[in-house]
Each structure stands twice: as structure tokens, then as C-alpha cells.
Amino acid sequence: MSARVAVLGAGSFGTCLAILCARGHDVTLWARDRTLAEAINQDRRNPRYLEGAEVPARVRATPDLEDALRDREIVICAVPSQGVRAVMAEAGEALAPGAIVVSTIKGIEPGTCFTMHQVLEDVLPPRHHGRIVCLSGPSFAREIAARKPTVVTIACREEQYAVVVRDTLSCPWFRCYSNTDVIGVELGGALKNVIALAVGISDGLGLGHNARAALMTRGLTEITRLGVRLGAEALTFLGLSGMGDLVLTCTGDLSRNRSVGLELGRGRRLDEILAGMSEVAEGVRTTDAACELAARTGVELPIAAMVREVLSGTLAPAAAVEKLMTRRLNSEAL
């Protein structure tokens, strides 16, 4: 059945989801920049992101948020984490009463330490709270746009709404599973970016595959430890939004977070690295928030703490690795 879908955010992931949805649905794509919206409508290409992917005629780009949201049944939020609060606060009154809101953002808000689901609950009218859905899992935008097989998780506390989104988005090259563990799915997606920074630093230093495997394994332990403390199910972190996304982001050449870590390990300054990027590496902002959240809940995250020191310039990458490796010895279960 055809649905009316809005995608908020014309970056690479928002654009690829608009392309995906257009195979059978009517889609509006909100772009903050009017020039970008006009270019997409005229040339059927996004000239800044996913330039090689054709944007179907069923996608109509617009710089007007209210226009993008009008009568939409499913609203997919794909803006960077730092823009979610402002964009969705503005969007709240324009949402159709029964709209399902889908968050695809993998981050934690600095200051509040809210996940994106919590940010949405904070800014949207209460009538929408039960219909907030989270999409996460191993999913590079470029591969989705190229119709390469991708599998993700769709989570909502009321699973019926996750099922609606699952059935709307799924197709022969994009398969969705439903889930009810929203906090687990969100934390897996957000915290794996921090571990990807650590892996990138290690790879940039030339520390080898043993170190990479150790960071990924112990990183998953950290993610699970914090998630369970916050009420998530441990098994969630062995699934697509946990291990699956962690493996992809730590090893894939398209990973922005791993790329930032690589450059840090090679000796470049963080401000210089970020200045040369056209899209956001969410792990840079998430690291501080994750460490703050861990401190509030009494959970130890040694890898995240090491990444935080490197990002802040407190420790050089090699010194941070040595500090991590010479911590007090402990049981693997801890």
C-alpha cells in the first residue's frame, strides 16, 4: 500500500532513504538550503551528497518544512544530531495527528545526555510520543542508494508502529526487523561511533589487527554495560544495531568516524580534520556525552574515556593507547 512519507534532511542518508521510499510511495524531501532543493528537483541528483544516485520523480524536494510535513503519514528525521532539537521543535505543530516519527540519528545530545528518542519526546507534543520509532543498523547510505543488500532494525515501544515502518521500507535489497528495545537500539547506534574513532586511531598508528579486534570486542562490552545499566536488553547489542553496526563502522572505508580516528592516529589535528569534511562524524560529539552519561550512572567506559582525551588534545594518540593498555588488570567479565 502506498504511503505519504516525508524525509527531513537532504544529506546522504536522508537522500538515500528518500530514494528507497520512492519505489512505491509519495515522498517529500526537506532540504534546509533552497538552492539544494531546487537542484534536486531540476537535475534529479543531489549535487552535494550521493551525486551519482538518481533521485526518482516521486521525490519532491522543498526548503519549506511545513510544506514537507503536510499530510505525511511517516516522517523520517535524518538531520545531524545537533539539529534535531531545533528542527523537530519547529516540526511539532505541523505533524499530522497520527504521523509516525522515525529517528535515524545515531547520537547522544551533549548537556542533557538524551538519546534522540528522548530529545523527540522532549520537543514533540505528547500525542506523538507513542509513535516515535528508531531506525538503526549497519547501513552506509551509498550502498543503500546502489541497491546493495542492507538489513536494519526498526524499534518502537509499541511494536505495531515499528511494524508499519518495517513494512513500508522493506524491499528486496532493504530488509527491516522490528524490535521494542528502543534504548538498546539507540545506544548501540550511537556508541559504536565512539569505538570506531578508537579503532581508527589504532589503525592510524599502525597497531595491527590484534589491537583492532580487541578494541571492537571490549568496545562492545562497554556499550552493553552502559546500555544494560540504562534498561536495555543485553541481547540487543549482539544484533544489527549493536554488533552489526559496530563491525561496519569500525572496518568500513565509508565510515566517517573511523576516518576521523585514522587521521588523528596519523598526527593530524581534530579541527583540521573536521574542517575538511562535508558531513558530520557523530562520534566526535557523542564521545563527551557518552562519558558524561557513564559518570552519571556509575559505569566505566575506558575506551570512550581514552577517545575523549585524544579528541580534547589532553593526550597524544600513542600515549592514550599506552594508558589504556596499562590499566589495572581485571576479569574479562567486568
End-to-end CA distance of the chain: 49
Average pLDDT value for residue range 187-209: 98
- Helix (H/G/I), strand (E/B), else coil: 76: strand
Average pLDDT value for residue range 183-208: 98
Q: Take residue 118 and report the three cell numbers written for it.
A: 528522548
Q: For residue 158, give the nearest of 134, 180, 127 by alpha carbon.
A: 180
- Predicted local confidence at residue 280, as pLDDT: 87
Q: Give tens-digit pLDDT for 242-256.
A: 999 999 999 999 999
- Measure the CA–CA gap between 135 and 51, rounded to whole angstroms: 24
pLDDT classification of 150: cutoffs 50, 70, 90: very high
106, 148, 192, 323: the catalytic one is 192
Known catalytic membership, residue 323: no
Mean pLDDT of the chain: 96
- Helix (H/G/I), strand (E/B), else coil: 102: strand
Would you say residue 137 has pLDDT above 80? yes
Which residues, listed in sequence order, are joined to residue 191 by a DSSP beta bridge?
A: none
Q: Give tens-digit pLDDT for 323-333.
A: 999 999 999 98
Considering the chain, what percentage of its residues have pLDDT values greater than 90? 96
Q: For residue 91, give the nearest of 56, 111, 119 by alpha carbon.
A: 119
- Residue 37, phi then psi, degrees to nearest 5: -60, -45
Phi/psi zone of residue 122: left (φ > 0), alpha (ψ -120 to 50 degrees), beta?
alpha
- Predicted local confidence at residue 219, as pLDDT: 98
- Predicted local confidence at residue 158, as pLDDT: 96
Strand order in the sheet with 74-77: 59-62, 26-30, 4-8, 74-77, 100-103, 132-136, 150-155, 174-179
Average pLDDT value for residue range 36-57: 94
* Domains of the chain, each with CATH number or no CATH: 4-180 (3.40.50.720), 183-325 (1.10.1040.10)
- Residue 41, phi then psi, degrees to nearest 5: -65, -35
259-278 residues labelled b (16+ CB within 10 A) or e (exposed):
bbbbbbbeeeebeebeeeee
- Predicted local confidence at residue 334, as pLDDT: 78
Would you say residue 1 has pLDDT above 80? no
Q: Residue 289 in contact with residue 115, Cβ under 8 Å?
A: no
